Amino acid sequence: MESCPSVKNILLLDSEGNRVAVKYYSDDWQTNSSKEAFEKSVFTKTQKTNARAEAEIAMFENNIVVYKFAQDLHFFVTGGDDENELIVATVLQGFFDAVGLLLRGNMDKKEALENLDLILLCLDEIVDGGIILETDANVIAGKVAAHSIDSGAPLSEQTISQALATAREHLTRSLLNLELASPASGFQVGFCSQREH
């Protein structure tokens, strides 16, 4: 019986090898110190490469590590040595592109930390318990945006669906306020039925 494609971890580190966002899905690294040691080792091994245009693949501690850099962010996805490199690379590219969409192209550490909640939601949409759920960046970013609709944001910063949901919410609130504010009127808003006296 073949198992589903899976990954062991997804790492987002800064240009000094420090954590921005990480998720582990494997028991290969049981303690936080072993996780941090793995992150430092992977960062040290890959920092002198130029993985900006395309993702690079490396074998590290019997794992496949696929990585790509953008400004001061370093993206890594780790799979087992028996995992298909193309699948691991597809997960990386989906994560990389979804973060780019969510950060509106401003892929730097400052912007990533300010939107850490979106990045963590992004990880949850891509992988669950190591099993790959989604790799299409548009679908991932859409699901994350749907989870994080901010009705307080200006309409110019919302997507059309977010703006419609906000407008619907404001209309509903207005109608409820109108109904509650006019108990003496002979009509109810919404039903337009005459009240009995």
Of 2-6, 96-100, 130-134, 141-145, give the lowest mean pLDDT range.
2-6
Task: Quickly state the pLDDT bin for 164 (edges 50, 70, 90).
Answer: low
Task: Report, as an integer, the average pLDDT of 101-109.
Answer: 84
**% the chain with pLDDT above 90:** 26
Residues whose CB falls within 8 Å of the CB of residue 96, separated by 6 or more in sequence, listed in order: 55, 68, 70, 75, 137
- Please state, rounded to an integer, the average pLDDT across all residues of the chain: 79
Grade residue 137 by pLDDT with cuts at 50, 70 and 90: confident
Stretch 146-166: mean pLDDT: 58
pLDDT in tens, 36-91: 999 999 999 988 887 777 888 989 888 999 999 988 899 999 999 888 899 999 99
Phi/psi for 138 (5° steps) reads -65, -40
DSSP element (H, E) containing 186: none
User: Which position has the higher pLDDT, 92 or 172?
Assistant: 92
Residue 24 pairs in a beta bridge with 9
